[in-house]
């Protein structure tokens, strides 16, 4: 009986040891599998985290780039609006000058028509007197009137021969033509001669400075100071008017160079008489 128990005890010990070993191996395998899975999970998490960080950096860079582009577009839009405003303002000025030129041209045409009508009426009167009076004294008086009519007619023809600026003003080419324009009574004329470069000279209500001349091409470079604002005009041809405005006036003044020599120029400044009235009215209203 005791031998059977000993045999059973031995048999039980024989199968328990392999079972424990197998269970130990299974446990070790499970730990290895778990460690491997944990390692892969950590690696996957790190990879995902790296990718997410890369995506975030890329998105941040794209956002920064978009902001920079948006800022550039806003600046470009602002510059474009500024340029558009400048062009619009210049266009308004050009349209205003064109309107003034048309008005002045119409006035000149009207004046020419009135002169022609007066000459026609006077000529008719002269012929009537010739037809009705035969006395020597009357003929002499008529001859005097005819001479006067011819003189006025020649003066008018000379006026019409003068070149006109883009604003319709007559351009004098010499002292005699300046005197003819003075007699019209619409503008004041200040003649000048500047000898030597870089020597500012007061002419009328502005300062003029000779910067250089090109005698072969009949061109001059001048600097003008108008109400403390200085600007240069280069390669200006003879008898080419340069227009400028004085504060409180609507009609431009003009400067014309008639003659160039070695470091010397001559010309005139044309000042509308209406400007003096406008300036006086502005001063009085300011008071």
Longest CA–CA span in the chain (Å) reads 196
**pLDDT at position 2:** 52
- Pair 224, 244: CB distance under 8 Å: yes
The residue to which tokens 């003659």 are assigned: 259
* Rounded Cα distance, 275 and 249, in Å: 5
**Which residue has better confidence, 72 or 172?**
172
Burial of 220 (0-12, 13-18, 19+ CB in 10 A): buried
Q: Identify which of 285, 214, 205, 218 has the alpha carbon closest to the alpha carbon of residue 252.
A: 205
Please calculate the CA angle 258-168-107 and round it to the nearest 5 degrees.
135
The SS3 call for residue 203 is strand
d(C-alpha 273, C-alpha 166), whole Å:
19
Helix (H) or strand (E) holding 173: none
pLDDT for 182 beyond 60 = yes
Please, are residues 272 and 171 in contact by the beta-carbon 8 Å criterion? Answer: no
**Cα 127-133-135 angle, rounded to 5 deg:** 125
Rounded average pLDDT over 224-246: 91
Instruction: Tell me the pLDDT tens digit for each residue of 211-223.
Output: 999 999 999 999 9
Locate tokens 């600097």: which residue? 223
Q: Are 279 and 246 in contact (CB under 8 A)?
A: yes
Give the model confidence (pLDDT) of 105-149 as tens digits. Answer: 676 566 666 666 766 776 676 566 656 654 555 545 545 654 554
Count of all residues that appear for the chain in the document: 287
* Average pLDDT for 226-230: 91
| pLDDT of 177 over the 80 cut | yes
Q: Which residue has the higher pLDDT, 145 or 174?
A: 174
Global pTM reads 0.44
**pLDDT of the residue at 253:** 92
Nearest to 176 by CA among 194, 186, 164, 189: 189
Q: What is the pLDDT of residues 39-90, one digit of tens each?
A: 777 777 778 778 777 877 876 777 787 778 767 877 777 777 777 676 566 6
* Tokens read off for 66: 């978009």
Phi, psi of 150 (to 5 degrees): -65, -40
Dihedral angle at the C-alpha atoms of 116, 120, 121, 123, nearest 10 degrees?
A: 130
Q: What pLDDT score does 157 carry?
A: 45
Confirm or reject CATH 3.30.980 for domain 170-286, answering yes or no.
Answer: no
Distance, in Å, from the CA atom of 236 to the CA atom of 222, rounded to the nearest integer, reads 8
Among 131-135, 182-186, 224-228, 257-261, the range scoring the smallest mean pLDDT is 131-135
* Secondary structure class of 188 (helix, strand, coil): strand
166: DSSP letter: T
Query: Which of these, 168, 161, 152, 153, lies nearest to 270 by C-alpha position?
Result: 168
Bridge partner list, 188 = 271
What sign does the dihedral 183-185-186-190 (CA atoms) show? positive
């Amino acid at each position: 009986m005791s031998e059977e128990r000993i045999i059973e005890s031995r048999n039980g010990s024989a199968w328990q040891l392999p079972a424990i070993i197998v269970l130990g191996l299974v446990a070790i395998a499970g730990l290895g599998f778990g460690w491997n899975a944990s390692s892969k999970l950590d690696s996957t998490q790190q990879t995902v985290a790296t990718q997410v960080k890369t995506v975030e950096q890329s998105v941040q860079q794209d956002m920064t780039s978009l902001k920079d582009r948006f800022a550039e577009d806003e600046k470009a839009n602002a510059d474009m609006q500024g340029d558009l405003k400048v062009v619009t303002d210049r266009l308004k000025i050009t349209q205003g000058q064109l309107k003034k030129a048309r008005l002045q041209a119409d006035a000149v045409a009207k004046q020419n028509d009135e002169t022609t009508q007066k000459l026609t009426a006077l000529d008719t009167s002269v012929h009537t007197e010739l037809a009705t009076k035969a006395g020597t004294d009357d003929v002499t008086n008529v001859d005097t009137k005819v001479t006067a009519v011819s003189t006025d007619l020649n003066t008018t023809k000379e006026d019409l021969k003068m070149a006109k600026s883009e604003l319709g003003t007559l351009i004098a080419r010499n002292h005699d033509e300046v005197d003819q324009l003075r007699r019209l009574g619409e503008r004041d004329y200040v003649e000048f001669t500047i000898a030597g470069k870089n020597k500012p000279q007061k002419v009328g209500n502005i300062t003029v400075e000779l910067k250089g001349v090109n005698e072969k091409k009949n061109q001059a470079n001048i600097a003008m100071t108008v109400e403390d604002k200085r600007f240069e005009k280069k390669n200006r041809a003879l008898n080419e008017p340069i227009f400028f405005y004085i504060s409180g006036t609507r009609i431009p003044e003009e400067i014309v160079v008639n003659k160039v020599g070695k470091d010397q120029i001559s010309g005139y400044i044309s000042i509308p008489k209406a400007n003096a009235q406008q300036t006086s009215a502005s001063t009085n209203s300011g008071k």
